[in-house]
Structure 1
Amino acid sequence: MKIEVEKSALLAAYKAGNADQKEMLEHLYGKELFAFDWREVTSYEKACEVLGIQAREFKEIGDRPQYMKMANAMQQLLVICEAINGNGSWYDKNGWGYYPVFVLYSKKEMQQLGEEECKRRGIHQLLAAAAALDSEDAGVRCADTSYRGAFAGADCGFPLCLNSEEKAEFVGKQFFELCCACYGITPKMD
């Protein structure tokens, strides 16, 4: 007799199981099936699968649909970060958290770099800004420099916290458009 099991159901059972149950499932299906590689989380749906939850989307209703788009993006990013963090901790063993940080370039800086160099570096023009205090300080969880480079910081944004620098960089690149949507920003993509 052959029994087929959905992989997502099997992973959910493994995640919810105690040590003995996990050992039994590893014996039956192989330990490698349950090994977690956070780099495989390349979509919201995959993050939901890893966590054993259903994908959900807020309805774009009412007189402020743009807010629902932002809420959808935030909810999806939080689920993605939870799945990528993997061990239930949003911080590393030293209590440090890491964040997707975006460097903002002025229009003049982008012109100086040129279109090809901007494309090579993955630099995109934003069609809106979340905060702009003056010509030297603008942010969307961004790295900013001011006072001729004497001050640098990462601020102005919701902390989508990850437990390693590598994971934060991955989320910033893999989910760039979703990060922008979270803040109501539309990047000009090629």
Structure 2
Amino acid sequence: MRKDGIGRTAAEVEAFMAGRTGKSRVMLRALTAADQDEFVRLTRDSAGLHRPWMSLPATPADFQAYLGRFDHDTAQGLLVCLADTGAIAGTVFLNSIIRGRYQNASLAYAAFSPTAGQGYLSEGVGLVLGYAFGRLRLHRLDAQIQPGNQASLALVRRLGFRYEGHSPDLLFIDGAWQDHESWAITNTMYGPGPWPPHPTLPAR
């Protein structure tokens, strides 16, 4: 089930990237079992960058367990890679994908230290917006960000997300329940489309 889900995500991302025009410094691809060693090494090397904002798998066993979350329908793991070398620059997750009248997913992302601060993650998340709205036909993406995470807040502002409020004690991170700011973007905020509705969206 998990492998099939990752394969479906890989196929969707490949189709999305193949349909794009113009050049970019980064590309998207699905997170797979073959990325274990590089991902774990980057996570360990980036511990100071990620803490206390998020926790990523830093051992092979944790990575394999983490990979099991991505079934394509409710969660997808994506990588932002440098277009010229293929090296992993960051990761983006589409979590809690809900269809029907909601058509929403929760967005999470992280840069890795070797290439952090060079705009690669911003470009990658920008690609994920196009993928989520154009290929997955979602209507809305939300991002929950701790108030002190200035780099992450700057990224969503740069990409046109809107602030939707403050949520006390929202997520358990770094050993405690942390407050978060809620930010979101819809497909109509992102661009003119076309944005055909997903088959699960009711007619009325």
TM-score by length of 2: 0.21
More helix, by proportion? 1
More strand, by proportion? 2
Higher relative contact order (CA 8 A, sep 6+): 1
Higher Rg: 1
TM-score by length of 1: 0.22
